[in-house]
Amino acid sequence: MDNKILEIFIPGPAGRLEAKYFKSKKSTSPIALVLQPHPQYGGTMNNKVVVETFHTFMENDFSVCRVNFRGVGKSDGEFDNGQGELADAAAALDWLERENFDNSQCWVSGFSFGSLIAMQLLMRRPEINRFIAISPQPNVYDFSFLSPCPSSGLMVHGKKDELVPFEFIKDLDNKLSAQKGINVEFETIPGANHFFSKSESELTKCIYKYIKKETALY
């Protein structure tokens, strides 16, 4: 399957963005954008969790794209504290939608810092109807903008996340579960740390199961 993954460059607000792209043969396939962890802590689109998530979408017949934010890898520009990265994500989604204008569903996913950008993008783009946020950090970033959260989705975190105390996840869960009309599922992976080291297969199974369930509705 890997030989069908294309290396592409997407026009972004700070220059070109390096990306990897897989196009499903089915014209009405769902689309997904997968976002990288923090660039200043070594995050790239080739992070293991990002790649695994990308492949899980591929296996479920999505047209899927993962992208290096500005200043990462071969992407032009430099780190912009989240504002520019959100603009990059929006440009990547624009590109993905143009390539797949008759898609049946639009998903966004991100890991760690990428999950924050994914959720901010979700708030601005009404066409996004599902999300997967992996290792969100509500203790570092303020997620109160998710009121109301416009779409159902999945939040996955490790029980042994060394960067995020569990009560912050619990608090976010309580806030989102009180919202009507949507269903945000929280999945805890026992034994997993923030980076899912040695727990990648459990993470992948969890994501796969959620994608299968939510695409069966369409």
pLDDT tens-digit profile of 110-168?
Answer: 999 999 999 999 999 999 999 999 999 999 999 999 989 999 999 999 999 999 999 99
pTM confidence score:
0.97
Q: Which residue has the tokens 């069908």?
A: 4
Report pLDDT digits (tens) over 64-98: 999 999 999 999 999 999 999 999 999 999 999 99
173 close to 204: Cβ distance less than 8 angstroms: no
pLDDT 10s digits, 200-210? 999 999 999 99
Q: Does pLDDT of 32 surpass 60? A: yes
DSSP string over 165-209: -HHHHHHHHHHHHTSSS--EEEEEETT--TT-TT-HHHHHHHHHH
Of the candidates 194, 157, 176, the residue with the CA atom closest to the CA atom of residue 41: 194
Output the CA–CA distances (angstroms, integers) from residue 72 to 15, 52, 53, 211, in the order listed. Answer: 12, 19, 19, 28
- Whether 84 and 13 have beta carbons less than 8 Å apart is answered as yes
Q: What are the CA-CA distances from residue 205 to residues 56, 156, 209 (Å)?
A: 9, 11, 6
Q: Which domains does the chain have, with CATH numbers?
A: 2-215 (3.40.50.1820)
Q: What is the mean pLDDT of the chain?
A: 96
